[in-house]
Structure 1
Amino acid sequence: MRQKIIHKSTELFLTLGFKSVTMDDIANEMGISKKTIYVHFSNKTKLVETVTFYLFETICDGIDDICEASKNPIEELYDIKMFVMHHLKNEKSSPQYQLRKYYPQIYSVLKIKQFEKMHESVQESLQDGIDTGLFRDSIDVDFISRMYFNGMTGIKDGAIFPKEKFPMEYLMESYLEYHLRAIVTDKGFKILNQFITKNQS
Structure 2
Amino acid sequence: MKDKILHKAAEMFLNLGFKSVTMDDIAHELGVSKKTIYTHFSNKTALIKEVTDAVFEIVCTGINVICSKENNPIDELFEIKQFSMEYLKNEKTSPQYQLQKYYPKIYATLKSKQFDIMQDCVVENLKRGVKLGFYRDTIDVDFISRIYFHGIIGLKDIELFPLTQFSMNNIMGFYLEYHLRGICTEKGIHKLNEVITNNQPEKNAK
Instruction: Report the TM range for the smaller structure's normalisation.
Output: over 0.9
- 1:110/1:140 Cα in 2 relative to 1: closer, same or farther (>3 Å)? same
Report the alpha carbon displacement of residue 103 of structure 1 after superposing the two structures with TM. 0.7
Q: Any idea what the Cα deviations from partners look like across 1:127-156, whole Å, max 9, x if unmatched?
A: 111111111111111000001001111111
Alignment of 1:22-171 (within 5 A): 22-89=22-89, 91-171=91-171
RMSD between aligned residues: 1.4
Equivalent residue letter for 1:125: N
Distance 2:121 2:112 in 1: 14
Is the contact made by 1:118 and 1:149 (CA closer than 8 Å) also made in structure 2? yes
TM-score normalized with structure 2 length: 0.92
- Structure 1 gaps of 5+ residues are none
Q: More deviation in 72-81 or 160-169?
A: 160-169
TM-score normalized with structure 1 length: 0.94
Is the contact made by 1:6 and 1:50 (CA closer than 8 Å) also made in structure 2? yes
- Structure 2 gaps of 5+ residues are 202-206
Once the two structures are aligned, what percentage of the paired residues are identical? 59
Equivalent residue letter for 1:169: N
Is the contact made by 2:19 and 2:102 (CA closer than 8 Å) also made in structure 1? yes
- 1:162/1:34 Cα in 2 relative to 1: closer, same or farther (>3 Å)? closer
Task: Tell me how many residue pairs correspond in the alignment.
Answer: 201
Matched, 1:7 2:7: yes
Q: Any idea what the Cα deviations from partners look like across 1:40-72, whole Å, max 9, x if unmatched?
A: 111111000000111111111111111112421
Report the alpha carbon displacement of residue 199 of structure 1 after superposing the two structures with TM. 3.1
Task: Provide runs of 4+ in structure 1 moved above 6 Å.
Answer: none
Is the contact made by 2:66 and 2:80 (CA closer than 8 Å) also made in structure 1? yes
